[in-house]
Structures are given as structure tokens and as C-alpha cells.
Copies of this chain bind each other. A is one copy, B any other.
């Protein structure tokens, strides 16, 4: 349901236009001095704050209402509340009857027998991802201390391509630089073209999608589990919880299907007494376990479904076809915001995997 995690449990609540969004975290342990700067930086990166995003901008100010005493975690459930401030009241009764194409409106109407909160998509809103950013920032603080880093970049936006992790050496400074950027790219030269695409979409009241590519580095070999708790199962499950993600792949992903075994197999060798693979077609995961190589993940982000262009839809109350024009504030692209949410989700996912009793027992 709204609680997730094998070892560290996160519970989410709140809706786009409710008073508060919140996340309760259990299992982090006691005595952690919370680094608010990391949280604020992460929230800032996710926040729409330029002409490239929606004009609804929330300060994302949060309070910790449980689980901290004198600045450190107590070991009791840790709860963050974020208040929603920049909500615009309007008549949602129309919206309730005319579901927006490619939004959750229609299936949610059926699922909840019409009682779902229609304002801003309710719990289906991307706004809830601000909570993922909070747990991701906490996980980042813990994992960075262990030398584990995660970085993501906008691999493609509409038809503009950034370089790929395949083609370059993935090192700590690259990853740390990607993490610092608002609009993270390997090849910064494509930034202008991508932003032009976004503005073009904005001007035409349309939207564009993209692909996010992520790398997890310095995760030791032998982490994860076979079967239902494979690293792929856990991370994909988490990524598909983020609104708008329609595909997830690891290593070469779909492209590996066209290779032969001799092309796709990653052969081992010793480098300074450490085992590595010469290639990384499997993206650092075999049998659901980490190999010690960088974990490579790509996620497909669909174009924002909210567009100003007139669309056909149905009127649920009159039971007839109708049209809809979505006025109001929305993002011409969300891939540049989702990239930060994915990074956060991966930090949490990795921390959760590393917190299994067996692995903790080996520490």
C-alpha cells in the first residue's frame, strides 16, 4: 500500500492540494545528525523554478514532527511534513466529470467509486515525489559516508540525446558533478537544444518526454538477493512508483536482446587484485546481485500528460464524448525534475537493500 521497504520502511501520505504531505521513516537507526543542507538542496533541485517548469512553485518547507531529539534521530519513527501552500482553488467539479487523458483521473474514479480527491490529481500527483526526495537525501547522507554515490542525467529529451554512461569512464567526480546540477548532462553542449525543445513545447501548449540514465558506484559485490528481492526487482518496483515512468532497464537493457552471448557476456579479470569485468553489459547486476561494477539504470519518462491543446475526452456524468482544454499551470517537461526524484529513489532503494540483516551482520 503506502508503506514500502524491506528493512527501512517509508510510509507516504498526502495529496496535491491537502494541507500537508508527509513521510514516516522507520528503521534508520538512532544517533544520526540530520544534514538539513542535503535535504534542502535535493528539494530545491526537484522544485520547479524556471521558465522550463510549471509556475506553481512550492517552498517545500518541512517540519520534523517525530523521531528527532536535539537534532539527532532517536530511533523512533521519523516524520517529515511538507505544507502545501501554492494551491489555487478552483471548480474541480467539472474536472471530476471530464477525465484528463493519460492522467489517473478515469481509472481512479472507478477504483475509488468517485470519492477520490480530484484536486491536482490527489495522491496521483507528482507532488508526492517531494517525499521521495526527503528520504533520498537522508539515504544519500548515509551512503556517501560509505563511499557509495549515485548520479543521474537526462539521457534524452524528446529527440535530443546526451552521451551515455557506456561511452565514458564512470568515476566519482563525474557522479558528484551530475548530482550538483539542476539540469544534469554528461555533454553540456546539448543543454541549449534540450531547453529549446522544452520552450517549444511550452509555446505550443504541448509537452515532451525523455530518458533518465543513472549510475550507482562503489556498491560492493554480493549485495542483493535472488528471486523476488533481486536488485532489479526492488529498484524497478520503486522507480515504477514514480508517476510517468513507463520503462526501466538495467545495463544494456533492451539492446542486450539483440546481442549474442559472446558479445553480451562480461568477462572477469583481476585489476590490482580486485575482480572486475571488462565490459558491463549486465549493468553491475547478475542473478539479482551486485557484481561490484557500476549499476546502470535507464528509465523512460513520458511527456507530461497535462497539455493546453484541446483534447477529446468523455463526460462521465452525461455519458457522452466531449472536449477538454487544460488551462492552469503545468510542466512542459518533467524529465528535468524526475531526474532528481529518480536519484533520490535509487539512494533510498540502495540503502534499503544494504540494510538487510544478513548484510548488516557482515559489516
> A222 to B107, Cβ gap below 8 A?
yes
Q: Does A63 contact B (CB under 8 A)?
A: yes
Closest B residue to A7 by CB, please name it. Answer: B357
With a cutoff of 8 Å between Cβ atoms, the chain B residues found around residue A290 in the complex are 107
Closest B residue to A69 by CB, please name it. Answer: B117
Within 8 A of B (CB), among A158-202: 158-159, 201
With a cutoff of 8 Å between Cβ atoms, the chain B residues found around residue A360 in the complex are 357-358, 360-361
Within 8 A of B (CB), among A282-313: 282-283, 286-292, 298, 300-307, 309, 311-313
Q: Does A277 contact B (CB under 8 A)?
A: yes
What 0/1 readout, one digit per residue, does chain A (258-271) give for beta carbons within 8 Å of chain B? 11111111111110
> A289 to B65, Cβ gap below 8 A?
no
Closest B residue to A298 by CB, please name it. Answer: B254
> A9 to B1, Cβ gap below 8 A?
yes
With a cutoff of 8 Å between Cβ atoms, the chain B residues found around residue A115 in the complex are 30-31, 69, 72-75
14 A-B interface contacts by CB (under 8 A)? A1-B227, A13-B65, A15-B67, A30-B115, A31-B112, A75-B111, A101-B277, A106-B291, A108-B222, A233-B240, A240-B288, A262-B309, A262-B311, A282-B302
Q: Does A344 contact B (CB under 8 A)?
A: no
Q: Does A52 contact B (CB under 8 A)?
A: no
Closest B residue to A159 by CB, please name it. Answer: B258
With a cutoff of 8 Å between Cβ atoms, the chain B residues found around residue A20 in the complex are 65-66, 79
Question: Which one of B226, B292, B300 contacts A104 once the chains associate, using CB atoms below 8 Å?
Answer: B226
Give 5 closest A-B pairs by Cβ, nearest first.
Answer: A104-B287, A110-B222, A247-B249, A207-B261, A107-B289
* Cα of A65 to Cα of B9 in the assembled complex, Å: 21
With a cutoff of 8 Å between Cβ atoms, the chain B residues found around residue A63 in the complex are 19
Secondary structure call for the A interface: mixed
What 0/1 readout, one digit per residue, does chain A (232-266) give for beta carbons within 8 Å of chain B? 11101110110101111111111111111111111
Question: Which one of B14, B159, B250, B306 contacts A79 once the chains associate, using CB atoms below 8 Å?
Answer: B14
Question: Which one of B18, B116, B207 contacts A65 once the chains associate, using CB atoms below 8 Å?
Answer: B18
> A251 to B262, Cβ gap below 8 A?
no
* Cα of A363 to Cα of B300 in the assembled complex, Å: 35
> B300 to A256, Cβ gap below 8 A?
yes
Within 8 A of B (CB), among A61-113: 63, 65-67, 69, 72-79, 81, 99, 101-104, 106-113
> B260 to A232, Cβ gap below 8 A?
no
* Cα of A73 to Cα of B180 in the assembled complex, Å: 40
* Cα of A112 to Cα of B361 in the assembled complex, Å: 12
Q: Does A224 contact B (CB under 8 A)?
A: yes
Given known A237-B236, A303-B264, contact A257–B211 (CB-CB < 8 A): yes
